[in-house]
Chains A and B, each alone.
Chain A
């Protein structure tokens, strides 16, 4: 089955700097890669996703890149702000039968220092 590895486990950056989180996946059939932000005690919230037919997607300060050959994808946050502090999870999914099953990475705790 699918296995997703995520690095680093913790990341501390100065406000205004960029943050990069990287994930690798094992199942070459995976074709959907979302990123979730989870604040303490809250539900995971989708912040951006990418499908396998594109290599990069951007939404304001957030971008995701995908390298299907190497089976890795990354989240880039520019001009970080204190409110970006949270745990971020990557996930990968392949279509199976009638739906998709998300497999998550272990998470990255991002701290943005004011």
Chain B
């Protein structure tokens, strides 16, 4: 697609429920990143995929968070047993991962998750 697409744009869920957030990167972008942005804060790194594999998941806060990218394109961020503290905007970004030059990140519009 022309840009990074994230769905849903908004998600309200009850505490304890399971949610899935989807990211559809720019076609051909092999590198995909998930960030979490809490109110008034900068984006916080969660996980990075190069192709289908998670190259760096050091930012996932705990084992309730998991992400997959089975075919090297669309990625899903999964949150189990949601807590109110998980409320944030979840941003996805992609870039042409084979490029040795930095930059070229394109961000999606994010999914605003509210846990009530």
Contacts and interface: CB of A to CB of B under 8 A. Distances in A.
A31 B109 CA distance: 27
Contacts of B100: 95
Interface string A26-63: 00000110100000001111100101000000000000
A101 B41 contact: no
Residue of A32, A97, A99 with most partner-chain B CB within 10 A: A99
Interface residues of A, number: 29
B9 to A, nearest CB: 10
A106 B42 contact: yes
Contacts of A34: 103, 105
Contact of B55 (A32, A51, A95, A97): A97
B42 A49 contact: no
Given A43-B107, A44-B91, A51-B102, A98 B58 contact: no
A71 to B, nearest CB: 17
A103 B56 CA distance: 13
A1 B102 CA distance: 18
Q: Which 7 interchain pairs have the tightest Cβ spacing?
A: A32-B102, A104-B42, A43-B107, A99-B31, A99-B97, A43-B109, A104-B43
Interface of A: 1, 4, 6, 31-32, 34, 42-46, 49, 51, 89, 91, 93, 95-107
23 contacts: A4-B42, A32-B102, A32-B103, A34-B105, A42-B109, A43-B91, A43-B107, A44-B43, A89-B42, A96-B56, A97-B50, A97-B55, A97-B56, A98-B31, A98-B98, A99-B55, A99-B95, A101-B45, A101-B48, A102-B105, A104-B42, A106-B41, A107-B40
